[in-house]
Amino acid sequence: MTRILNGLVFCLMVGSVLPVHAGVLYSTGFENPPFTPGDVAGQDGWSVFNDTGTSQVETGFVDSGSQALAVIPALATSSQSGPYYGLSTPDPVIDISADVYIFSSSTQSEWQFAGTGPSLTGYTGGFDILPDGTIDLTTPGFTSAGTWTYNTWNLVDLLLNFNTQTFNLSVNGTLLAGNVPFCGSNSGCTGANVPSFGDFFFDAFPTFGSSPTGAPANLSNDLGVIDNLTISSPVPEPRLVMLLAAGLVALVALRARRGPVEQADR
């Protein structure tokens, strides 16, 4: 019996050091095809929250390739607007990564990068970038988690765990916050349960002027750009699954062969 237990422990130890790979659910660099320059709404499953026209596929500023997706607060007439992509899935762990560039501005907007449940209902995890550059977690208490660097590309990674109802936030490979509770509700951030992933969005909260139409005041130099978005579900590396399965089969066979001897030993 000792040999069997030692063998099982060995299989688990070897398996624990093998890598995992991400099952990619959606990935885009906003290239053509399928994207063409102009309003992103209606392209490759993308929609725009509130104001059509605020989110443009463009060629003037990109991280890689020839196109990226820009959010232009100057075109907004609502308090929150930007692009979102719906991808309802029951997978218990979702990883969202993207390259994000936010320009400094004399009329800096607040920005939000987050996930929600299906149909934009129930916030999971995410963060706001306040006008002063503070990274503010979208969770009960709205805890600050660092400072955003403007005028450069930043790699953002948001890991959502629906089993534990928590998320991790990393920027440029540095973990800024771990095991943070989901926000839960759409308003008040009460921490209510979000059963599954549904949407990713990247929005702006522009500073508004006093014009009768509610149009933002002089936001022509305020701009955020996103590129190289990947939404994935981390799954075990196939080699790990095969190794553990083979190990367990071998151990069961060994146990069956040694059964009479062990009975005699007792």
Does residue 62 sit in helix, strand or coil? coil
- Angstrom CA distances, 262 to 10, 60, 252, 257, 259, stand at 21, 74, 14, 10, 5
**Band (188; pLDDT cuts 50, 70, 90):** confident
Q: Is residue 4 part of a domain?
A: no
Enter the pTM of the model.
Answer: 0.78
What is the Cα–Cα distance from 207 to 76, expressed in whole angstroms?
10
**Band (176; pLDDT cuts 50, 70, 90):** very high
- Which are the contacts of 5, defined by CB distance < 8 A and separation ≥ 6? none
Mean pLDDT, the chain, integer: 81
**Band (262; pLDDT cuts 50, 70, 90):** very low
User: Domain tally for the chain?
Assistant: 1
Q: Is residue 248 part of a domain?
A: no
Length of the chain, in residues: 266
pLDDT in the model for residue 258:
52
Beta bridge partners of 83: 48
Q: Is residue 123 part of a domain?
A: yes
User: Of 32, 87, 78, 33, which is closest to residue 55 (Cα–Cα)?
Assistant: 78
What is the Cα–Cα distance from 44 to 33, expressed in whole angstroms?
9
Does residue 40 sit in helix, strand or coil? coil
Residue 114 structural domain: 19-237
Q: Is residue 256 part of a domain?
A: no
**Band (260; pLDDT cuts 50, 70, 90):** very low
| Residue 92 belongs to domain with CATH number | 2.60.120.200
Q: Is residue 79 part of a domain?
A: yes
Percent of the chain with pLDDT over 90: 59
Q: Is residue 260 part of a domain?
A: no
What is the Cα–Cα distance from 184 to 195, expressed in whole angstroms?
10
Specify the DSSP element, H or E, that contains 168: strand 166-171
DSSP states along 204-257: EEPPB-SSTT--BSS-TT--EEEEEEEEEEEEE-HHHHHHHHHHHHHHHHHHHH
Token couple for 151 = 């005028």
Q: Could you tell me whether strands 166-171 and 174-181 are parallel, antiparallel, or unpaired per DSSP bridges?
A: antiparallel
